[in-house]
């Protein structure tokens, strides 16, 4: 299976036009909540985009995809990252 970035083309102009006029195509196994948050973050009209309303970033943090996320623990650096490489 060959994969591509969500928007690609022969020139920057083509990529830009695709970004403005197309939605990304998600694989069938892609999580429904992940699709929803991505779609809502990619809304072209800024005033309708998730996180750009009067509640700002709190709107994003309340999205069901982040359910169970302890934002205070993240801020205090108490949550390990999903990938923790050993660095020497």
pLDDT per position in the chain (88 positions), as tens?
A: 567 777 788 899 998 888 888 888 888 999 999 999 999 998 888 999 999 999 999 999 999 999 999 999 999 999 998 898 999 8
Give how far the C-alpha of residue 24 lies from the chain's centroid of Cα atoms, to the nearest Å.
11
Q: What's the CA gap between 32 and 20, in Å, rounded?
A: 22
pTM for the model stands at: 0.72
Question: What integer pLDDT is reported at residue 18 of this predicted model?
Answer: 83
DSSP assigned state of 26: P
């Amino acid at each position: 299976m060959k994969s591509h970035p969500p928007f690609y083309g022969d020139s920057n102009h083509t990529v830009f036009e695709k970004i403005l006029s197309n939605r990304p195509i998600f694989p069938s196994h892609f999580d429904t909540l992940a699709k929803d948050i991505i779609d809502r973050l990619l809304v072209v009209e800024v005033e309708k985009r998730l996180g750009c309303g009067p509640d700002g970033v709190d709107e994003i943090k309340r999205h069901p995809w982040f359910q169970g996320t302890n934002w205070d623990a993240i801020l205090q650096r108490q949550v390990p990252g999903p990938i923790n490489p050993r660095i020497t």
